[in-house]
Amino acid sequence: MSTSEQAAAGVAPTAGAAALPLPVLEIRDFSISFATETGDVKAVRHVDLSLAPGEIVGLAGESGSGKSTLALGACRLLRPPAIITGGSVIYRGRRVGPEGVEILDLTAHELRALRWREISIVFQSAMNALNPVLRVEAQLGDVIDAHLNVSREEKHERLNSLLDMVGIPRARLRSYPHELSGGMRQRIMIAMALATDPEVVIMDEPTTALDVVVQREILAEIAELQKELKFAVLFITHDLSLLLEIADRIAMLYGGRMVETGTGEQIHHRTAHPYTRGLLNSFPSVRGPRRKLAGIPGSPPDPRDMPPGCPFQPRCRFVKSECATVDMQLLPAEVEDPQHLTACPYVKVGEVEPAGAATPATIREVL
């Protein structure tokens, strides 16, 4: 199929390769701003991101890069003064059909039906995301009541099986959130997210608030559940090393812009964008040779004060004058692999850093 034919059929354009399935969640040219008294602050700018059915896509970036804003904005969960200023978010789950629905056009009523049933969210801090005055069974149950039309016995069965699925004793249905440990609470959040059998689960830093051992356990459980139930995952985190292990594809966000997307292998071994490079240089691997930690000099960008062109300019070792006019379009990084895209047209994969490159700030940024 030619590229234009592919586009007409609604298939993701690929050059020469076999046609891929339609993405279950397709975000195109998505922009979000915050309307403050001092003017609009662009938090997310012209972002493209898509999730294939059953795929795990990692969304990585620093705090303030716009990852949560992007995900919540795609579900239209952001509160004022946030506004969506452009783009489209198309959802194509099994229950909705291949034509999909444009989330940005839905009414509040239609959105309510779509939320959780089709797209659910696992929030970062389970202690804060669970209602402290409701028992677990009430919180798991009300979402079943809202979306599924089942009898009481069926609902009870489902609640029990949900808890079994995440490895929590059934008796805990009668507990309150404050009576559970951190790991348990997060598992409840996951169970809650899967309660209505969604197609897409957005996980916003689901393990950041936990200690390392529990983190590993929960990640393993998530991976297992995903294999079994085959839902797509948008995994948001600042921990790139985690994504390298579990994600099928990774998207790197910087200053509200998408700067690189690719598989874990491509991102790790054939890094294209300078930002990703800097990130990979920032954490040591437990095995492997000792090397000097470089980090990324400077500090995260202030969304109110972005340079024209590429937002990474102030901290980039490859910066040149053309960077101020680049249009940040995602282009293939490697000729043989159209899946690997980067926003930097000047730096090639494997290019060596220029010697004596200026290091802008004295503050070391280690993510």
Partner 1 sequence: MQFLVRRLGFYVVAAWAAVTVNFFIPRAMPGNAVDSMMAKFPNIQPQAEKALEAEFGVGHQGSLLHQYWVYLGNIAHLNLGTSVSLYPDKVTSVLASTVPWTLALVGTATVISFTLGTLLGVIAAWRRGGWLDRALPAFTLLQATPYFFLALLAILFFSVDWHIFPVSGGYTLGLQPGWNLSFIGSAVWHSLLPALTIIATSMAGWMLQMRNVTITTIGEDYVLAAQAKGLSSRRVIFTYAARNAILPNIAGFALAIGFVVAGALVMEIVFSYPGVGFTLLNAVNANDYPLTQGIFLVISFAVLFACMIADVVYVFADPRARTRQAY
Partner 2 sequence: MSVAAPLQADARTQQSAAPVWRRLRKSMPLKAKIGAVIFGIFILIAIIGPAVAPYDPSATTTQTQAIAPNIHHLLGTTSTGQDVLSQLLVGMRSTVVLGLMTGVIATTISVLVGVTAGFLGGSADEGLSLFTNVFLVLPALPLLIVVLGYIRTGSLLPVAIVLSALGWPWGARVIRAQTLTLRNRDYVLAARETGERTWRLIIFEILPNEVSLIAANFVSTVLYALLTSVALAFIGLASFSGWTLGTMLYWANSQEAIQLGAWWWYVPPGLSVALLGMSLVLLNFGLDEIGNPRLRDGGRRKIKGARWRASDPTPVIREAL
Distance in Å, CB of 173 to partner 1, minimum: 14
Name residues whose C-beta falls within 8 Å of residue 274's C-beta, 6 or more positions apart in sequence: 312, 316, 317, 318, 344, 347
Helix (H) or strand (E) holding 144: helix 136-147
Task: Choose among 1, 31, 3: nearest CA to 18.
Answer: 1
Nearer to partner 2, 49 or 78 (CB): 78
Distance in Å, CB of 336 to partner 1, minimum: 40
Q: By CB under 8 A, is residue 367 in contact with partner 2? A: yes
The entry of partner 1, partner 2, none near residue 2 (CB within 5 to 8 angstroms by kind) is none
Distance in Å, CB of 216 to partner 2, minimum: 12
Q: Residues binding partner 2: what is the number (CB under 8 A)?
A: 33
Residues 52-81 that bind partner 2 (CB under 8 A): 62-63, 73, 76-81
| Binder among 48, 239, 334, 337 for partner 2 (CB under 8 A) | 239
DSSP state of 78: P
Nearer to partner 2, 41 or 323 (CB): 41
Distance CA 51, CA 110 (A): 22
3-class DSSP state of 44: strand
Nearer to partner 2, 284 or 308 (CB): 284
Q: By CB under 8 A, is residue 108 in contact with partner 2? A: yes
Strand order in the sheet with 119-122: 119-122, 200-204, 232-237, 56-60, 249-254, 257-263, 337-342, 331-334
The entry of partner 1, partner 2, none near residue 240 (CB within 5 to 8 angstroms by kind) is partner 2
Nearer to partner 2, 166 or 218 (CB): 218
Which part of the chain contacts partner 2 (CB under 8 A), choosing from 9-17, 46-54, 133-141, 280-288?
Answer: 280-288
Nearer to partner 1, 111 or 328 (CB): 111
Q: By CB under 8 A, is residue 82 in contact with partner 2? A: yes
3-class DSSP state of 60: strand
Neighbour-count burial of 274, counting CB atoms closer than 10 A to its CB (0-12 exposed, 13-18 middle, 19+ buried) = buried
The entry of partner 2, partner 1, none near residue 358 (CB within 5 to 8 angstroms by kind) is none
Asked whether 47 and 239 are in contact (CB, 8 A), the reply is no
Distance CA 58, CA 207 (A): 14
Length of the chain as a residue count:
367
Distance CA 162, CA 269 (A): 39
The entry of partner 2, partner 1, none near residue 219 (CB within 5 to 8 angstroms by kind) is none
The entry of partner 1, partner 2, none near residue 134 (CB within 5 to 8 angstroms by kind) is partner 1
Torsion of CA 87, 93, 98, 99, to 10 degrees: -40
Which part of the chain contacts partner 2 (CB under 8 A), choosing from 83-91, 318-326, 344-352, 355-363?
Answer: 83-91
The DSSP result for 331-349, as a single string, is EEEETTEEEEEES-SSPPT
Instruction: List contacts with partner 1 (CB under 8 A).
Output: 75, 77, 79, 111-117, 120-121, 123, 125, 128-134, 142-143, 146-147, 176, 178, 192
Residues that bind partner 2 (CB under 8 A): 31-32, 35, 62-63, 73, 76-86, 104-106, 108, 111, 208, 238-241, 282-284, 286, 366-367
